[in-house]
Amino acid sequence: MCRPKGRATGLLVLVMLLLPGCNALNPLCDSARPSPVMTSIKPTTVPYAAVVKTFQLTVTGSHFVAASAIVVHGVQVATTVPSSTQLVGTVSTVAIPSPGMFTVYVSTPSGNSGNLGCSSGGNSSSVTLLVD
C-alpha cells in the first residue's frame, strides 16, 4: 500500500476533521441516512368520509430514502417512495379515528453507520392535516 508522505497526510487528516456530519455532504458516512425534510402535504384538508374509505396523502420535501415513512397522528402509514423528494401514504381510520387536526411528519430510521460525526435518520418537522 502506498502512503502519502509529509504534508499530504496532514492535509488528509485536516480535511477529514472539517467535513460536516451531514450525510449528503460527508462522503465518509457510508450507510448513514440523511434526516428527512418535509416541505408540504397534499391535501392539507380532507373530509372524514374520505378517511373512512382511505385516501392518498402526498408529502414533498427532500432526503427521502426507501426506508422513509409518513407518520400521521403517531401512526406510521403504508408509504411508497416514488423519489427522494416525494412520498405517498395510504391513510385510514387507523391513523385518524375522527375529525380534527392531526400532525404529519416523515420518519427515517437510522442506518448502520458507526462512523464518528455521522448522524443517521431522524424525523422531519411536522405540519397539520385538517380532517373535517
Task: Find, among 103, 77, 97, the residue nearest to 88 by Cα.
Answer: 77
Q: Which residues contact 67 (CB under 8 A, 6 or more apart)?
A: 33, 108, 109, 121
Rg (CA), the chain: 20
Is there a domain that residue 65 lies in? yes
Is there a domain that residue 88 lies in? yes
pLDDT per residue as tens digits for the range 69-122: 999 999 999 999 999 999 999 999 999 999 999 999 999 998 654 555 566 789
**Structural domains in the chain (count):** 1
Q: What is the pTM of this model?
A: 0.75
Is there a domain that residue 3 lies in? no
- d(C-alpha 115, C-alpha 94), whole Å: 38
Is there a domain that residue 127 lies in? yes
Is there a domain that residue 83 lies in? yes
Residue 64: domain span: 31-131
- The CATH number of whichever domain residue 110 belongs to comes to 2.60.40.10
Is there a domain that residue 97 lies in? yes
Is there a domain that residue 102 lies in? yes
Is there a domain that residue 54 lies in? yes
- d(C-alpha 102, C-alpha 132), whole Å: 11
pLDDT per residue as tens digits for the range 8-37: 444 444 444 444 444 444 555 655 678 999
The single residue listed with the C-alpha cell 509529509 is 6
